[in-house]
């Protein structure tokens, strides 16, 4: 009999004792046993903090991002092995694609974010706060990695995605992880973890995995740790109340199963593209992963005059969904993860059946292709009808975590919005409508109770990822019953693992701490023009004070002729009554263009090209006769990796362009980016 191992303290360890037996969801046969008995959870937490955390924190965001990309590429090469193992969880190939390649996709997504962060182990957040009249005392927020460990307690339904969607974020932030997958499907998580460890891509201590029970691990958390939980609200609430979490004020993110809903707009009629989209979407969400998704559609909210049409069309589509062994051609729905899950769903169906009626499906009488339905954890999709969802409210409180959903009618959009909120908070809601006015009213009315809302119509259906697919760069979580948490969300998710600290001091000191020039800081001047200096040679705060130029009416006319911008404020002095201008004013883009003419060194040198403009503001009118000059300062340097060995070694330099007039006041301020060659081409 196969024995799953735990990965702890840098080695694979088989737990002591008999352990828990894990079964094949299709055949009912034994897959493996798992135990964590004998593991030292306290030592594991300390090992993560002092070994994995120390090494991750020394890496920059760019290095961590490249690490994630390398790991994603490695796992993609091994994906067929994972697909083979995933079959035993009851998943079809499509189900497994969401879990396996969806999980790996999270690694790719967070790797791609590296260029939005500095090439530093930390990042600066937001704008500088001017804290004094003269500008000599300022504030800024800096975000550094927490010096703890992320403990992820995951659900059984997505053994790969559940792990990778979380660790991608904490690794990007520079924090190690201990992953506790649900034991029932941990054999797939263990297989992926083995490939991760074998790759050698991660620093030692960045990942540990517990396949057996992790009961007791929360006794050792500290205020620098982060705990996340995905699963039932009952278990989540119990964990959230752990005394150690409260004592140490440990961040706890809960993503609980919720009673998600899908709404059909009153504008949609049978035979329309949107009606077909609705039926397909609901059927897919009921049967994907045999309905074992925290984002599955549990409540189907439709106009009261459309109930019969929806019931007939959806029942017909469910009847065409072949249940059985996913390895058999034509099978579109596999099994639940195990007999325990099957029994739990049956019990919830029986409870729901007391207040609403089954209009499609049967718990006992259904056929299974290529397998023995009594040995595997198979069940038929169950479709309920609740004709009075405001009176019979079990549907808004009980969740059968399987292929089970309920149709309910509404009379008005306001009533539909109220029904959507009666689930007391969900991870996702969706609305299918061709009328954007209906979509707007629903979104604005329902958003407070849903973590995500999908608005689906024929314009986007071909490329839509669907109701049930959280996206790495958007938040995943929801209020109330859904747990009140938030994970993923692109950059936003990374900040969950960073400590935000306000720092105060002089602009020069804050700039030296953050490696980002702060406005008002001291200048560093060199004899050589900054465009003559290579990427490595440039210093933050290095400044060129340019020659000056007196603006004339000819400048304004010539720029209008070249640009085609003949806006009245520039060209018609008689049209300025009622404006803020006292005369013809120079184009803002002329001021910026002339600034470039003042600070650019035209000769060929290390500067390869102008990379772009991040921000620009015109703060004071420039009239003919005004004299402008530029303070051109190296604000920030961002390294770039070589795409190929033959690629030019280079980096991006951000420059503060401060254009001022004869009074010394700033008239325009911008950040421009240049691509600058490195002196060392290795």
CA distance 477 to 459: 26
* DSSP-derived 3-state class of residue 232: coil
Query: Where does residue 127 rank: exposed (0-12), middle (13-18), buried (19+ CB within 10 A)?
Result: exposed
Indicate the DSSP class of residue 429. Answer: E
To the query of whether residue 460 is one of the catalytic residues in this protein, the response is no
**CA nearest 330: which of 133, 94, 134?**
94
**CA nearest 236: which of 25, 427, 448?**
427
**CA nearest 379: which of 358, 399, 365?**
365
Q: Which of 255, 281, 399, 636 is catalytic?
A: 255
CB 500 within 8 A of CB 488: no
Q: At residue 116, what are phi and psi to the nearest 5 degrees?
A: -85, -5
Residue 185: C-alpha distances to residues 11, 249, 305, 376 (Å)? 21, 31, 43, 15
CB 140 within 8 A of CB 501: no
CA distance 640 to 313: 54
Segments of 186-320 assigned E as strands: 207-209, 226-231, 252-256, 260-264, 297-303
Q: Name residues whose C-beta falls within 8 Å of residue 428's C-beta, 6 or more positions apart in sequence.
A: 260, 295, 450, 451, 452, 453, 454, 467, 468, 470, 478
Q: Around 258, how many Cα atoms within 13 Å sit in the side-chain half-sphere?
A: 33
CB 540 within 8 A of CB 634: yes
For residue 642 the two structure tokens come to: 């070589």
For residue 668 the two structure tokens come to: 């325009």
CA distance 651 to 656: 16
Q: Around 438, how many Cα atoms within 13 Å sit in the side-chain half-sphere?
A: 20
Say how far residue 641 (Cα) sits from the centre of its chain.
Answer: 24
CA distance 591 to 597: 10
Q: Which of 211, 261, 262, 294 is catalytic?
A: 294
CA angle 556, 561, 565 (to 5 degrees): 75
CA distance 49 to 463: 42
To the query of whether residue 294 is one of the catalytic residues in this protein, the response is yes
For residue 397 the two structure tokens come to: 């409180």
**CA nearest 632: which of 577, 680, 669?**
669
Write down the residue that tokens 């009140």 correspond to.
484
For residue 469 the two structure tokens come to: 């697919």
Q: What Rg, from alpha-carbon coordinates, does the chain have? A: 30
The size of the chain, in residues, is 682
For residue 485 the two structure tokens come to: 């948490």
CB 511 within 8 A of CB 655: no
Strand 666-677 relative to strand 607-618, pairing: antiparallel
Indicate the DSSP class of residue 193. Answer: H
CA distance 166 to 149: 12
For residue 519 the two structure tokens come to: 């406005």
Q: Name residues whose C-beta falls within 8 Å of residue 528's C-beta, 6 or more positions apart in sequence.
A: none
Catalytically annotated residues: 255, 294
């Amino acid at each position: 009999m196969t024995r799953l191992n735990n990965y702890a303290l840098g080695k694979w360890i088989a737990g002591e004792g008999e352990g828990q037996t894990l079964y094949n969801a299709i055949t009912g046969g034994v897959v493996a046993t798992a135990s964590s008995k004998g593991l030292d959870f306290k030592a594991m937490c300390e090992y993560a903090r002092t070994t994995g955390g120390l090494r991750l924190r020394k890496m920059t965001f760019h290095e961590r991002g490249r690490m994630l990309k390398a790991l994603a590429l490695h796992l993609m090469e091994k994906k067929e092995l994972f697909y083979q193992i995933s079959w035993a969880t009851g998943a079809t190939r499509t189900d497994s694609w969401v879990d396996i390649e969806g999980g790996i996709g999270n690694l790719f997504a967070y790797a791609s974010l590296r260029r939005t962060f500095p090439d530093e182990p930390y990042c600066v957040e937001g704008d500088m706060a001017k804290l004094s009249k003269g500008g000599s005392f300022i504030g800024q927020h800096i975000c550094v990695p927490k010096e703890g460990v992320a403990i992820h307690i995951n659900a059984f339904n997505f053994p790969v995605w559940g792990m990778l969607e979380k660790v991608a974020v904490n690794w990007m932030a520079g924090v190690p992880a201990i992953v506790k997958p649900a034991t029932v499907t941990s054999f797939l998580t263990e297989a992926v973890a083995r490939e991760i460890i074998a790759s050698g891509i991660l620093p030692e201590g960045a990942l540990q995995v517990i396949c057996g029970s992790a009961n007791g691990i929360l006794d050792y958390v500290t205020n620098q740790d982060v705990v996340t939980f995905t699963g039932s609200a009952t278990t989540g609430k119990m964990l959230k109340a752990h005394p150690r979490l409260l004592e140490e004020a440990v961040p706890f993110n809960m993503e609980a199963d919720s009673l998600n809903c899908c709404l059909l707009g009153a504008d949609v009629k049978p035979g329309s593209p949107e009606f077909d989209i609705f039926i397909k979407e609901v059927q897919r969400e009921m049967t994907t992963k045999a309905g074992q998704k925290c984002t599955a559609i549990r409540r189907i909210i439709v106009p009261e005059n459309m109930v019969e049409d929806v019931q007939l069309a959806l029942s017909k589509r469910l009847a065409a969904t072949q249940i059985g062994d996913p390895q058999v051609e034509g099978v579109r729905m596999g099994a639940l993860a195990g007999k325990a899950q099957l029994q739990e769903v049956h019990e919830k169906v029986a409870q729901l059946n007391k207040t609403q009626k089954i209009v499609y499906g049967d718990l006992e009488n259904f056929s299974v292709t290529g397998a023995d339905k009594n040995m595997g954890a198979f069940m038929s999709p169950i479709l309920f009808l609740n004709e009075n969802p405001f009176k019979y409210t079990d549907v808004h409180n009980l969740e059968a975590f399987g292929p089970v959903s309920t149709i309910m009618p509404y009379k008005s959009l306001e009533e539909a919005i109220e029904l959507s909120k009666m689930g007391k908070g969900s991870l996702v809601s969706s609305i299918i409508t061709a009328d954007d006015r209906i979509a707007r009213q629903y979104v604005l009315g329902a958003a407070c109770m849903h973590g995500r809302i999908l608005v689906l119509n024929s314009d986007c259906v071909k490329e839509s990822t669907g109701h049930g697919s959280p996206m790495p760069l958007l938040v995943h979580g929801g209020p109330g019953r859904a747990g009140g948490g938030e994970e993923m969300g692109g950059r936003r998710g990374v900040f969950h693992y960073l400590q935000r600290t306000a720092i105060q001091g002089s602009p020069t000191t804050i700039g030296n701490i953050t490696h980002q020039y702060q406005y008002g800081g001291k200048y560093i001047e060199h004899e050589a023009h900054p465009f003559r200096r290579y990427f490595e040679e440039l210093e933050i705060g290095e400044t060129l004070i340019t020659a000056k130029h007196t603006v004339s009416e000819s400048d304004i006319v010539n720029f209008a002729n070249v640009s085609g911008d003949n806006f009245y404020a520039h060209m018609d002095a008689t049209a300025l009554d009622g404006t803020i201008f006292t005369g013809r004013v120079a184009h803002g883009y002329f001021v910026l263009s002339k600034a470039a003419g003042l600070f650019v060194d035209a000769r060929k040198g290390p500067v390869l090209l102008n990379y772009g403009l991040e921000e620009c503001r015109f703060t004071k009118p420039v009239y003919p006769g005004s004299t402008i000059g530029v303070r051109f300062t190296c604000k920030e340097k961002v390294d770039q990796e070589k795409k190929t060995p033959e690629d030019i070694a280079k980096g991006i330099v951000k420059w503060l362009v401060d254009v001022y007039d004869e009074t010394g006041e700033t008239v325009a301020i911008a950040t421009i980016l240049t691509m600058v060659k490195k002196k060392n081409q290795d």
